[in-house]
Structure 1
């Protein structure tokens, strides 16, 4: 069986990616995980650090966003499944953009968020093939769609 590629997009302030990766490894799932740059300062500063400083914040951010988009677009396009996590601490406009981009590419989209975000994310949820509340639910989804195995509880 070939490996599946799963892109893990979204908030970077909790260990949800590590939980999904660890649990998937423990189950022996044939999955290769990819993600955006999760080092927040590196993600913010990459454009100006590589291409030259900008005095105007708009252009400083613009350079960084474009460099980050090279990675994001490439990895989203290569993914079999895209998981987008929305946290409750910050507005994740980039996560919403990634979800829309994945949907436009016809990718299988799994959205992960707390039930308190159901209303503000209703359009994103409507585009998803699954909406989970916990990382372990994402792992169970992966186990089911990859192996056809369902843990009945």
Structure 2
């Protein structure tokens, strides 16, 4: 029986990096289940008030959503074999930094994925990472090596 690896994909939601990893995993035939937070920005922001009722104060609106999303994130990340933490070019992903810290504290190995221009800002996050990738395809290569010992072609 082959182990199915659970990989949590954290971070930036404005590019196709998750889809590129999913396509690479499928193409390589890797026994991987990819899990992630809710990536529909509006749903993630408004889930708390949609479920628990409206809030006039934006702070409490956001807090309700953050708390609901945190249950998903904590559960999925805690149950993962490893994580990929993506920091994109356009926005600051404070949530991704939090997920990296949580993974490090829980002993969950992770790979960061970001452009070289973020190296200085992310030096501590990268310092605790087990790998730093620049492209989603490098993450797939890392997974192939970790799972099957396959070297890149």
Question: 2:87 aligned with 1:92, yes or no?
Answer: no
User: Aligned partners of 1:16, 1:47: CA distance in 2, in Å?
Assistant: 27
Partner of 1:74: 75
Match of residue 128 from structure 2: 127
- The answer to whether 1:136 aligns with 2:134 is no
- 1:88 CA displacement: 1.2
Post-superposition offset of 1:10: 0.4
Alignment of 1:42-121 (within 5 A): 42-121=43-122
State the partner residue of 1:26: 27
The equivalent residue for 1:39 is 40
Name stretches of at least 5 consecutive residues in structure 2 with no aligned partner.
Answer: none
Q: Which blocks of at least 5 consecutive residues in structure 1 are unaligned?
A: none
Residue of structure 2 in register with 1:11 after alignment: 12
Pairing 1:146–2:147 present? yes
Whole-Å separation in 2 of the counterparts to 1:22 and 1:42: 25
Q: CA deviation at 1:151?
A: 2.2
| SS of equivalent residue, structure 1 residue 120 | coil
RMSD of Structure 2 on Structure 1 (CA): 0.6
Count residues in correspondence.
152
CA distance, structure 1, for counterparts of residue 101 and residue 47 of structure 2: 24
State the Cα distance separating 1:46 from its structure 2 match.
0.3
TM-score w.r.t. the length of structure 1 is: 0.98
Deviating beyond 3 angstroms after TM superposition, the runs of 4 or more aligned structure 1 residues are none
Q: Match of 1:33, SS?
A: strand
